[in-house]
Amino acid sequence: MARVTLSAQGAASPDTVWQRYADIHQWASWSPQIRAVHSVRRRLSPGMSGTVESVAGIRAPFVVEAVDHDRRTWTWRVRLARIQIRLHHEVKPQGRGSATSLTMHGPRLVLLAYAPLARLALHRLVQP
């Protein structure tokens, strides 16, 4: 298993960025690889599960492991066939805007292939 950490900074406030994470129906607005997220719940919460659907129509089941709304952090696990990736997200104040980071754990080649899309999504996430 490998670990890859990505980060981005932008002018959006930490509260705005966190809201974009916390409301799963907003994910497709800033993450170009996501078409939709399907879950019984709309707001991030520990134990929440569902599927994330890519723009290619591929659906991958997920489970949210932890959420700390006060610290603006959350962790989830996504599975596609035999491949599982664990993703940990953080949002912090940065100057007049915010910084977000993503630490991914999983098979090295999968993480390296996904990193460019994830980096683009993070940069879009922190824009006003």
pLDDT, tens digit, for every residue of 14-43? 999 999 999 999 999 999 999 999 999 999
pTM for the full predicted model: 0.95
pLDDT, tens digit, for every residue of 55-103? 999 999 999 999 999 999 999 999 999 999 999 999 999 999 999 999 9
Confidence label for 116 from pLDDT (cuts 50, 70 and 90): very high
* Cα 67 to Cα 60, 72, 105, distances in angstroms: 20, 8, 17
pLDDT, tens digit, for every residue of 90-106? 999 999 999 999 999 99
